[in-house]
Amino acid sequence: PGTFEFENASYLFKESCAKACVPVRRVNGADGIATVHWKTEDQTAKAGVSYEGGSGELTFSHGEIEKTIDIVIYDVQSKEKDEHFKLVLSDCSMGSKLGKISSTIITIVNDDEYSSFISRLAHAANVELDNIRVDKHTYADQFKEAMNVNGGDLENATAFDYIMHFLTFAWKTNGLLAALDNRFLSTCLDKHSHPGSVCRCASAIDLGRLLCFLVALAFIGLLTALVIDLASLFGCFIGLKDAVTAITLVAIGTSLPDLYASKQAAANDDSADNAIGNVTGSNSVNVFLGLGLPWMMAAIYHSV
């Protein structure tokens, strides 16, 4: 039969909205007909003065997963403080139960206060988004953020921030090359529209991408060598053979980043194309480059 609950623990409505429509969800099942009771409880807002209080019953048909409770809001036409009341779910039908959010707070805001509240909220959200935004408007901003600890905010930097800055400095440097590549691409294509200029831009961009790829490859090789050496030393210390260390510690150490990258891509992408691309790309690099390059070096060495 499912579980009945509100979507949010609180709702905000303007005084002039005339009616507050509060959705009730039916989750974890929708089999058969099920009912749930609701009632209002006065807080700072009083029934009959600020809103039309009361109680009732919601009946969900088979397969129905959402209904709304409509509560009439009175427009007092006078400036007053925010008021709120509670809306509570109770006494659901046999087999069903109440979820985590079985009660919610309904806040009634004066129209002028509502507009001011929304403006303050939007401003605070924009400020917060500016602080946590990954991309920057200029390459100088990207350079500053990557090269400085805690994005340049040294006053609030902790010891952990300093440690992570030096551990991730290689990735930040590689990111700068990619940022420079994208910056050059957009600037170049904006300023030069005729075919010859675009071709010259494309050649320069290809060179930048090649440089970025080679630097990334160098860092991958360096980190892989570091992981192998540390795993080998650890295996020697606890008495593990190199073969066992290779298929456990080294394999985990080099595959976990791909696993987390694919998981993140799958979670944030509707089609999961990036996750599939990461998996196939990673395996392609391992097989054709990770195996092919040492094989070629060995073949040249033994031939000489």
pLDDT digits (tens, 9 = 90+) for 124-174: 776 666 555 555 455 566 666 767 777 666 777 788 888 887 777 666 665
Q: Which residues of 266-297 are buried (b: 16+ CB within 10 A; e: fewer)?
A: beeeeeeebbeebbeebeeeeeeebeeeeeee
Q: Residue 77 has what pLDDT?
A: 59
Higher pLDDT, residue 98 or 197? 98
**Does residue 152 share a domain with residue 27?**
no
Residue 66 has pLDDT above 50, yes or no: yes
Strand order in the sheet with 3-6: 66-72, 19-27, 3-6, 97-98
DSSP secondary structure, 222-237, as one string: HHHHHHHHHHHHHHHH
Place 195 in a pLDDT band, splitting at 50, 70 and 90.
very low
Q: Containing domain of residue 253, as a range?
A: 139-303
Q: Is residue 122 part of a domain?
A: no
Least Cα distance to 64 among 103, 32, 96 occurs for 32
Average pLDDT on 33-59 reads 87
Per the domain annotation, does 76 fall within a domain? yes
Lowest-confidence pick of 18-32, 40-54, 106-120, 240-254: 106-120
Q: What is the structure's pLDDT at 193?
A: 46
In a domain, 55, yes or no: yes
Q: Could you give the number of structural domains in the chain?
A: 2
The CATH number of residue 41's host domain is 2.60.40.2030
**Domain co-membership, 107 together with 191:** no
Q: Is the same domain home to 193 and 235? A: yes
Same domain, 9 and 65: yes
Task: Answer yes or no: is pLDDT of 248 > 90.
Answer: no
Give the residue with greater pLDDT, 128 vs 3: 3
Q: Average pLDDT, whole number, for the chain?
A: 77
Residue 258 and residue 154 share a domain: yes
Does the structure show a pLDDT above 50 at 79? yes
194-221 average pLDDT score: 65
Q: Percentage of residues in the chain with pLDDT exceeding 90?
A: 4
Q: Is the pTM of this model over 0.75?
A: no
Residue 47 sits in the same domain as residue 93: yes
Rounded Cα distance, 22 and 12, in Å = 10
- Return the residue matching tokens 């007092």: 76
The answer on pLDDT for 189 being more than 60 is no
Q: Which of 117, 149, 174 is the last residue of a domain?
A: 117
Residues 222 and 96 both lie in one domain = no
| 289 & 188 share domain | yes
Flag whether 127 is in a domain. no
pLDDT over 60 (residue 276)? yes
260 plus 163 within the same structural domain:
yes
Lowest mean pLDDT among 22-26, 43-47, 74-78, 112-116: 112-116
**Same domain for 153 and 86?**
no
Regarding whether 45 and 164 lie in a shared domain, the answer is: no
Tell me, rounded to whole angstroms, the distance of Cα 58 from its chain centroid. 35
* Mean pLDDT lowest among 26-35, 40-49, 62-71, 263-272: 263-272
Q: State the pLDDT at residue 130.
A: 59
Note whether residue 290 is domain-resident: yes
In a domain, 238, yes or no: yes
Residues 193 and 49 in one domain: no
Average pLDDT over residues 257-269: 78
Tell me, yes or no, whether 128 lies in a domain. no
Question: Mean per-residue pLDDT for 281-288?
Answer: 80
Exposure of 31 by Cβ count < 10 A (0-12 exposed, 13-18 middle, 19+ buried)? exposed
Q: How far is residue 68 from each of residues 59, 105, 163, 182, measured CA to CA in Å?
A: 11, 15, 51, 48
11 in a structural domain: yes
Radius of gyration of the chain (CA): 30
CA distance linking residue 108 with residue 50, whole number of Å: 8
